[in-house]
Structure 1
Amino acid sequence: MGRPDNNAYVKEYNDELLKVLQEEESTAMPVITEMNFGHTCPVFSLPYGAMAQIDCTSKTFSRVESGVEA
């Protein structure tokens, strides 16, 4: 999930996200918050359809393939 612009209301944003996950009984699903994509600065691209990996033990996120075909 992207972070709010200028980190405004980060706690409130994360609290609401947790409420939604609890309502949907999805709290076991890994979710990363406060990422620099969307309407933030700095920003990075997350291409649709590109494979990525979340490592919950080391708390890392990696794109494992390019977002464009060669």
Structure 2
Amino acid sequence: MKYELSAVIGDAELLRGVSRTVPAARAAPLGQGLSLIPMTGALFDAVAEDGVGDEFSAVKLGRHRHGDQWIA
């Protein structure tokens, strides 16, 4: 039996911030300061919309939003 999981794994605080900004994102704590956000169909659709993908691009680059600004 095969199972494939598409997800984002990263800093728990950073991914909690993303999940507050992107309603389709649900961060699940993994321990040791890490969380996982499963890439569901709804999340893929949300990321494809204008502007929402910026949240995930920033996560990939290790940046986060503080107010209206992106910081490293």
TM-score category of the 2 structures, normalised to the smaller one: under 0.3
TM-score (normalizing by structure 1) = 0.25
Which structure has the greater CA radius of gyration?
1
TM-score (normalizing by structure 2) = 0.25
Relative to total residues, which structure has the larger helix share, 1 or 2?
2
